[in-house]
Structure 1
Amino acid sequence: GAACGSHSGLAADESLRAHFFPQHFSNLRPSASESTAAVSNAESEASESVSNGERALEEDLLVKENHRPSSQMALIQAAGHGMFARLSEDILLKESSRSERDAYATLNTTGLRRFVPDYYDAVSRGGQVLLYIEDLTARFASPCVMDIKMGTRTFLESEVDNKRLRLDLVEKMLRVDQTAATAEERVNGVSKLRYMQFREMKSSTSRFGWRVEGVRRHGGGALPDCKALRSREQLEGALRWFLQDRIEIWDQFLEQLSSLREALEASEWFGSH
């Protein structure tokens, strides 16, 4: 996802770049010694919670259900599932899977680390996994977030063999296109694969290799349904709205995306996943 915001009077372009490459902009962080101490403190805070073992797992999972955060501790999320809870001002708990835990852990040793949130630790019990990760919006007083899903295929290989039919996915399809499902599908449901392929065809994924999943902009405002964004003009309009017509930031988007592509092409880790 992309993010921008205001923080201590920083220019918008610096704020945006800090979200993409937080480790590279020391002017957005404390001094080197303070930064090291802050990271060490964050790691020790996460490790202390992890050291409480399995007892912490259930307690942490209950945070998001039983305790609504104050405005200072509110989660800023543009799209996705409600799998996050806050441990502290800048550490999030994410209900996840072993595969994502392993991905974060191994990414920490590669050149791709600068493109992902800091990963501190994880706890697990059975099939449940909790990740302790950095909240990239914590440094901003007025964060804006755009969730973008990249890639021409947005489903797992394992979902190809999942034949279970689901009526809830039919309902999601019909909210986008009333003609999307056949009479039989309306009665019996559709598979996850069928739904994901529909989403790709109805969005900009199949044509451009990316789509907008959701947007949260400080100060509100109306944006057309993200699921309806398909054409180049619609996507440009959504980006202009998100950036509030700060066209100077667009070059930075391109620069950072080019850096990401170069890093992915050179990454042995990416080539094996």
Structure 2
Amino acid sequence: MTWWPGVEVPATLRTGLGLDPTLLCPTQNKPWKKLKTVLKYSPFVVSFRKHYPWVQLSGHAGNFQAGEDGRILKRFCQCEQRSLEQLMNDPLRPFVPTYYGVVQRDDQAFNQMEDLLADFEGPSIMDCKMGSRTYLEEELVKARERPRPRKDMYEKMVAVDPRAPTPEEHAQAAVTKPRYMQWRETVSSTSTLGFRIEGIKKADGTCNTNFKKTQKLEQVTKVLEDFVDGNLGILRMYVARLEELREALENSPFFKTHEVVGSSLLFVHDQTGLAKVWMIDFGKTVALPDHQTLSHRLPWAEGNREDGYLWGLDNMIRLLQGLAQS
């Protein structure tokens, strides 16, 4: 999701509008009447989404504003600011949006960064959230400190799988946040492949964020094949870009010393044959204690802070290579 670039969809496509992505990407379960009502009272979205289609993949459309000179304003987050500042002097710089610092607009702070879609004509966009978990260890610890049953998370759970709650949870019509957070990862390809598709918007305007239960390799492969419309040239460009990214990650001092959670890869291509991938969404990227590093490939066990980012990237590259060779 969590940006335009990403974008916390359902919940890596990732703002003061606060619109649910399913309203911007209506499905059969979200009638157009409801969408029209939203747009009627949010005229900004109509013009903004025309020029910035990644907004449709974001669960936080109100976090973004159009900047000047091909730039985007994203609501200020100190974690993201620190990460982007450091990444400007890291081997990963070519793979992240250029950062232009903090600006103020209407008494609100924004991180100003490059609009990654500026060079594309009618692009197709995909957000993939990377890693074997999408919550920080600290979030899990805090949630356990006050494990009160929550009806909203129960409703989210049964919307995906009515059989998921235990009999006790059904009786309470509520689940605790730790339970929900850990269950959520098990139903998507986050747990099986180390990444999950958050949302896709194709050049023809079709938009889909309904990937919460896309878990099996065959399912993910079909979605990716459809995203590129079987275009082998685009597939090969994506593979080459991801292989370059992997090399940069393995040589990045920043990556070795940070836990990268909730970050997405933004895939963009258009009819001209241009195809790029960038890392986006660093709101949950945190520095490790001094002298600690991560492999980003080892399985996560609570306390080791491993995020599975490279494990997911390895799987993604193999999957796309297979498609490109088939």
Check whether TM > 0.5. yes
Spell out the pairing of 1:81-96 with structure 2 (5 A cutoff). 81-82=60-61, 83-88=63-68, 90-96=70-76
Q: Matched residue of 1:154: which SS? A: coil
Q: CA deviation at 1:169?
A: 2.2
Percent identity for Structure 1 against Structure 2: 38
Label 1:254 to 1:179 Cα distance change in 2 as closer, same or farther (>3 A).
Answer: same
Partners of 2:91 and 2:71 in 1: CA distance = 22
Cα RMSD, aligned residues only: 2.8
Q: Matched residue of 1:148: which SS? A: strand
Spell out the pairing of 1:181-196 with structure 2 (5 A cutoff). 181-186=165-170, 187=172, 189-196=174-181
Which stretches in structure 1 are left out of the alignment for 5+ residues? 2-60
Partners of 2:239 and 2:219 in 1: CA distance = 18
Q: State the match for 1:248 in structure 2.
A: 233
Label 1:74 to 1:262 Cα distance change in 2 as closer, same or farther (>3 A).
Answer: closer
The farther-off stretch of 103-112 and 90-99 is 90-99
Label 1:72 to 1:203 Cα distance change in 2 as closer, same or farther (>3 A).
Answer: closer
Q: Matched residue of 2:116: which SS? A: coil
Q: State the match for 1:76 in structure 2.
A: 54
Aligned length: 211
Partners of 2:257 and 2:157 in 1: CA distance = 33
Do 2:199 and 2:208's aligned partners in 1 also have CA atoms closer than 8 Å? no
What one-letter code is carried by the residue in structure 1 that aligns with 2:160? V
Label 1:159 to 1:189 Cα distance change in 2 as closer, same or farther (>3 A).
Answer: farther
Of 91, 107, 110, the match for 2:87:
107
Q: State the match for 2:161 in structure 1.
A: 177
Larger Rg: 1
Partners of 1:250 and 1:268 in 2: CA distance = 29
Q: State the match for 1:263 in structure 2.
A: 248
Q: Which has the higher helix share?
A: 1
Q: CA deviation at 1:73?
A: 3.4
Q: CA deviation at 1:212?
A: 0.2
1:168 is the counterpart of 2:158: no
Partners of 2:121 and 2:69 in 1: CA distance = 12
Q: State the match for 1:137 in structure 2.
A: 117
Do 1:217 and 1:242's aligned partners in 2 also have CA atoms closer than 8 Å? yes
Label 1:66 to 1:106 Cα distance change in 2 as closer, same or farther (>3 A).
Answer: farther
1:154 is the counterpart of 2:134: yes
Query: CA-to-partner distance for each residue in 1:7-31, whole Å, 9 max, x for gaps?
Result: xxxxxxxxxxxxxxxxxxxxxxxxx
Which stretches in structure 2 are left out of the alignment for 5+ residues? 2-15, 20-41, 259-326
Do 2:199 and 2:207's aligned partners in 1 also have CA atoms closer than 8 Å? no
Query: CA-to-partner distance for each residue in 1:125-179, whole Å, 9 max, x for gaps?
Result: 9xx7521111111222302110101111211122111225433222222111111
Q: Matched residue of 1:226: which SS? A: coil
Q: CA deviation at 1:208?
A: 0.8
Partners of 1:124 and 1:158 in 2: CA distance = 30
